[in-house]
Amino acid sequence: MITVDPYVLQQASCQASRLVATGGSPSDEWEDVRQALILDCLRRSPKFDSSRGDWQGFVRGVMRNHAAVLVTQRFRRVRREVLIDKISRDDREAADHLGTRDDLETIDGGHYEIEAGLQLTIDVRRALDGLSPKLQNIALLLSELSVVEACVKLGKSRSGVYQLIRQLRDAFLRAGFQHVGRGNR
User: Do 25 and 86 fall within a single domain?
Assistant: yes
User: Do 93 and 136 fall within a single domain?
Assistant: no
pLDDT recorded at residue 107: 40
Q: What is the pLDDT of residues 45-72, one digit of tens each?
A: 999 999 999 999 999 999 999 988 888 8
pLDDT tier for residue 93 given thresholds of 50, 70 and 90? low
User: Do 107 and 138 fall within a single domain?
Assistant: no
User: Do 42 and 77 fall within a single domain?
Assistant: yes
pLDDT recorded at residue 104: 41
The pLDDT of 26-33, averaged and rounded, is 89
CB of 10 within 8 A of CB of 18? no
In a domain, 185, yes or no: no
User: Do 145 and 174 fall within a single domain?
Assistant: yes
Distance CA 88, CA 60 (A): 42
pLDDT recorded at residue 47: 92
User: Do 125 and 135 fall within a single domain?
Assistant: no
Question: What total of structural domains would you count in the chain?
Answer: 2
Radius of gyration (C-alpha) of the chain in whole angstroms: 22
Average the pLDDT over each of 24-28, 34-38, 117-121 and give the range with the smallest value.
117-121
CB of 41 within 8 A of CB of 8? yes
Q: Please say if the pLDDT value at position 79 is more than 80.
A: no
pLDDT > 70 fraction of the chain, expressed in percent and rounded:
72
User: Do 94 and 17 fall within a single domain?
Assistant: yes
Q: Please say if the pLDDT value at position 35 is more than 90.
A: yes
User: Do 123 and 136 fall within a single domain?
Assistant: no
CB of 21 within 8 A of CB of 35? no
Residue 9 φ/ψ, nearest 5 degrees: -60, -45
User: Do 63 and 147 fall within a single domain?
Assistant: no
DSSP code string of 2-19:
----HHHHHHHHHHHHHH
Distance CA 104, CA 95 (A): 6
User: Do 92 and 174 fall within a single domain?
Assistant: no
pLDDT > 90 fraction of the chain, expressed in percent and rounded:
32
- Long-range pairs, 53-58, Cβ under 8 A, ≥24: 55/5, 55/7, 56/7
User: Do 19 and 101 fall within a single domain?
Assistant: yes
Distance CA 154, CA 172 (A): 22
Q: What is the pLDDT of residues 102-161, one digit of tens each?
A: 444 444 444 455 566 667 777 788 888 888 988 988 888 888 888 888 899 889 999 999
The pLDDT of 75-100, averaged and rounded, is 57
Q: Directed axis angle between helix 110-129 and helix 55-98, to 10°?
A: 150
pTM: 0.45
Distance CA 185, CA 169 (A): 11
